[in-house]
Amino acid sequence: MLTIKNLHAKIEDKAILKGIDLEVKPGEVHAIMGPNGSGKSTLASVLAGREEYEVTEGEVTFQGMDLLDMAPEDRAREGIFLAFQYPVEIPGVSTTNFLKTAVNEVRKHRGLPPLDAVAFLNKMKEKMALVEIDKSLLSRSLNEGFSGGEKKRNEIFQMAMLEPTLSLLDETDSGLDIDALRIVANGVNKLRSADKATIVVTHYQRLLDYIVPDFVHVLYNGRIVKSGGKELALELEEKGYDWIKNEVDATA
């Protein structure tokens, strides 16, 4: 589904990604872990096509398409969804209206007719229940005045509505209490399927108790320096990141 080869990216002349290789197949959940500042958000942002980042080398293909050649909105239409570490507030646009447009845009792209008002409402209700989000939030301006937890839940709600092929979750767990964490993870787990994939970026192992990954990768200084199964996350939890840094620095 997604193949990343030797990806390098910079922001404001600072090299951040320094050669990322990653292969994600349908049905898989990959966790990207690593110390603060290692480039996790940069990787997610580059995949989603955020324009502050400049790709300087490498290739990314998504379902056979040259992803780096596609505008961010085309990536979204093709089924890539990024849940932001810091969700943006959009005054004047409600979640409901935003989603009505977004859902029908994706459907159009897939050759499907737009959902009528009743079908859209039913879908909203179903997904609202999934992430236990309050109806009143959805008629307010997108994320404006939402608490941290409400913003994160709203991100997962949007994801549930859009049913993306590839979901990128950037530290969706940060700032969540344990109940919200469980709800968010549950939403993600319900969306798992054989034809979809998820990349979960997280600093802590905690989320991975709920969203059990097939693979765990450690990003450090712009490179994936270690990959393993879910047990790697537990090892990191126990030992911290210093041993990885020491290992890498020793061989550098």
Chain residues that interact with Mg ion, rule: CB under 5 A: 36, 40-41, 85
Report strand pairing: 29-33 vs 215-220: parallel
- Strand arrangement of the beta sheet that strand 65-66 belongs to: 14-24, 2-11, 54-62, 65-66
Shortest Å, Cβ 127 to ligand ADP: 27
Measure the CA–CA gap between 184 and 223, rounded to whole angstroms.
Answer: 28
Binding site for ligand ADP (CB under 6 A): 11-12, 14, 16, 34, 36-42, 52
Shortest Å, Cβ 176 to Mg ion: 15
Q: Which is nearer to Mg ion, 1 or 82 (CB)?
A: 82
Shortest Å, Cβ 53 to ligand ADP: 8
Q: Angle 118-123-129 (CA atoms, 0-180°, nearest 5)?
A: 125
Structure tokens at 106: 């994706």
Q: Which is nearer to ligand ADP, 81 or 133 (CB)?
A: 81
Structure tokens at 172: 């969706």
Shortest Å, Cβ 245 to Mg ion: 16
Measure the CA–CA gap between 134 and 129, rounded to whole angstroms.
Answer: 9
Shortest Å, Cβ 99 to Mg ion: 25
Q: Which is nearer to ligand ADP, 38 or 96 (CB)?
A: 38
Measure the CA–CA gap between 220 and 240, rounded to whole angstroms.
Answer: 13
What, of Mg ion, ligand ADP, none, does residue 16 touch, CB below 5 to 8 Å by kind? ligand ADP
User: Judging by beta carbons within 10 Å of its beta carbon (0-12, 13-18, 19+), is residue 128 exposed, middle or buried?
Assistant: middle
What, of Mg ion, ligand ADP, none, does residue 134 touch, CB below 5 to 8 Å by kind? none
Q: Which is nearer to ligand ADP, 40 or 151 (CB)?
A: 40
What, of ligand ADP, Mg ion, none, does residue 12 touch, CB below 5 to 8 Å by kind? ligand ADP
What, of Mg ion, ligand ADP, none, does residue 14 touch, CB below 5 to 8 Å by kind? ligand ADP
Structure tokens at 97: 């209206």
Q: Which is nearer to Mg ion, 18 or 192 (CB)?
A: 18
What, of Mg ion, ligand ADP, none, does residue 38 touch, CB below 5 to 8 Å by kind? ligand ADP
What, of ligand ADP, Mg ion, none, does residue 11 touch, CB below 5 to 8 Å by kind? ligand ADP
Contact 167, 81 (CB under 8 A): yes
Shortest Å, Cβ 201 to ligand ADP: 7
Instruction: Please choose, from the candidates 197, 184, 211, 193, the residue with its C-alpha nearest in 3D space to the C-alpha of residue 127.
Output: 184
- Facing residues of 75 across strands? none
